[in-house]
Amino acid sequence: MDLPQGLVEESPPSVGVVTGTMNHLKVDDGSSGVQVTCLSEVSNDATLYFHIIRLQNQIYAWIGCNSTKLGDLFAAAPTRPSNTVSVSSLTGGSCDNTGSGIARRIVLKTGINVVLASNIPKNSPMLEAAAEKKLVQKLISLGYGKPGPRGASS
């Protein structure tokens, strides 16, 4: 099947035993540097949906669990000079919600601003961990990742 201009179908990445990728679609307009990536995955008997909008110095990510409900929205950013992360709830929820923790850890791993919406149930730590792991893997494959220390050898 031919995809509309700007849509590129990617082969799904390999995944662990617990999860399996269901679909994967990437949209890149080529001119503005904005890239939209959508994927879904089954993990712990729940379907996780991911939408990632990759901007030059910011990530917008949505994680849906068994529905397309937006969920709570959080913004997280690195703060100086202490190299910590500040997180704010933009709609609903509080800073002890699942999305808040994921947003904070994504900033720690990438070093850039994150806006994250999530409707993962609060009392589902295994689902939260699986969603965060998949999101981090995808962000790294998109070129986001905190650079290592200078002079470090690989």
Whole-model pTM: value is 0.71
pLDDT score for 82: 79
Lowest mean pLDDT among 68-72, 129-133, 146-150: 146-150
The residue with tokens 């969603």 is 131
- Over residues 42-69, the pLDDT tens digits come to 887 888 999 999 887 888 999 998 887 8
Q: What is the mean pLDDT of residues 107-134?
A: 89
Of residues 78 and 142, which shows the higher confidence score?
Answer: 78
For residue 145, is it left (φ>0), alpha (ψ between -120 and 50) or beta?
A: left
SS3 107: helix
Hey, what's the torsion of the CAs at 37, 129, 48, 58, to 10 degrees? -30
The maximal CA–CA distance of the chain, rounded, in angstroms, is 51
Of residues 13 and 31, which shows the higher confidence score?
Answer: 31
The residue with tokens 């995955």 is 41
